[in-house]
Chain A
Amino acid sequence: MKMSMLDRTLLLATGLLAAYQIVVGINDLSTAPIIAYTIAFGVLLVAGLLLIILGFDVLDAPVVVIVSTVIPLALSLGLVWEHLSAFRTPYLIFAILGFLAVVLTRTIPMQNKLPTVAIAVVHGIAGLTIFLLPIVIAVQGAARPAFALVGLGGALIGLGGLLLSFLKAGRPILSRETIFRVLPGLLLLMTICFVAGFKYG
């Protein structure tokens, strides 16, 4: 499917917002969250640029499943490290093992359901963490209400991940054309939520 000028503009805006977040949005945090958020927004930025350069066909590459796991894992790790200090080490171990599980099940050919299970578990836990943790923190008053926007961003990234995962699994929820039509706008909206949530939360 050919990419329109509007799609390119939306993706460029996504990339610029991600770049802004990398440069100034996470400056005051400690080292571990800075690394985690840099990885998450970095993948978003590079992915946006590659989409602009290579078009939607790049989403057909097998490596997309692995790369798209990095964003929620890194974002959720940053959030847990900042706000759930008791769970830092266990979540770090989960993130590393989860990523390795996705990489291994996607690179070694296997007939069973293990690749799908690995993706579902990793995306499910990381996605729920990004969705719920900021909302809980905002409701408890530990952060300003705007921090809940990060949770909204988490819901949107989960939606995008679901649409792409089912498409790649051959059981699309929406048609390929519809998914590609909404994807640039979804990515931009998600990034706006993240950037605004971190800035004003």
Chain B
Amino acid sequence: MSALVNKIRLYWPLIKSTQTGLLLATGIAGYLSAGTPIGLPTLLGVSLTLFLAISGSTILNMWYDHDIDAKMKRTHKRPAAAGILSRVEVFWVGMVISILGVGGALLIAPLYGAVVFAGWFFDVVVYTLWLKRRTCWSIVWGGISGAMPILSGRALATGQIDLVGILLALAILFWIPTHTLTFSIKFREDYANAGVPTFPSTYGETFTRATIAISSALAAVAIGWASVLIGVSAGYLRLIAVLTAGLLLLAFATFRVQSERVNFGLFKYASLYMLSSMIILAMKAF
């Protein structure tokens, strides 16, 4: 038993728990946003399969990127990069968890499974294996992958890919650059040492900050539009409007004031904004 606990303790840092938790929250919010009757077994199934699929793709990302992680101060202590776990072990853990997640999702519903698989494929194959070391635009595919959990949850509840699902997916797609580009500015030297092309190293900081500001604004528009279509109550729409105004002001400030502090403020606020929006959308089910 203690050996198993030790293994889980070793594997846990492989899944980037905060990021995985936030993406899982988007998937559950997507499911609940439809306002359909909540089936507890289905909700548990969604939570488990999404958690496994997202964790599996993250672990495979750590498996493949162990060499560049080892060159970066921010990531060199990750288990695969630091040699705490062998590459082979990390690969097989990632594969098994991925198969369990995607396979389970396909068993729940083919459309839901297909969208979950698309997310896994875009993250592992297109983003990690193919584009990450070649072009800074790889983040778009990372963003599309991150948008799949919310789309899958919505698709499972409605049985189709509808406009609201696409808008919610776009919201996540536009929110992810706020996350990744802020990191690429903050840890610019790290990425340069590892030879990973980033927006700041390719187009400069001003362009990157403008991209962050514009993508935050687009994420806010998508969330607002989706909220109206979902039929969120007037009170919650007011709250979304207030939080959106804060996001837009910070995005504008990031563009005007070339400060890492403001940039990081936007990064944290955007995460809080997305989590709050997900909670509000999930309220539709209750």
Contact = CB atoms under 8 A, between A and B. Distances in A.
A120 B163 CA distance: 50
B269 A50 contact: yes
Contacts of A23: 233, 235-236, 238-239
Interface string A31-45: 000100010011001
A173 interface: no
A22 interface: yes
A19 B272 CA distance: 14
Contacts of A41: 242
A27 B233 CA distance: 10
A49 B242 CA distance: 12
Interface string B233-254: 1111011011101100110000
A37 B174 CA distance: 30
B83 interface: no
A22 B269 contact: no
Given A27-B234, A42-B245, A54-B261, A49 B239 contact: no
A6 interface: no
A31 to B, nearest CB: 11
A114 interface: no
A50 B235 contact: no
B268 A38 contact: no
A46 interface: yes
A24 interface: yes
A50 B246 contact: yes
A174 interface: no
A38 B238 contact: yes
Given A45-B246, A46-B246, 12 more contacts: A23-B233, A23-B236, A38-B241, A42-B242, A42-B246, A45-B242, A46-B243, A46-B249, A49-B246, A49-B272, A53-B265, A58-B265
15 contacts: A22-B235, A23-B236, A23-B239, A24-B235, A27-B234, A38-B238, A38-B242, A41-B242, A42-B245, A45-B242, A46-B242, A46-B249, A50-B269, A53-B268, A58-B265
The 10 A-B residue pairs with the shortest CB-CB distance in the complex, in nearest-first order: A42-B242, A46-B246, A23-B235, A53-B268, A54-B265, A38-B238, A22-B239, A22-B238, A23-B239, A53-B265
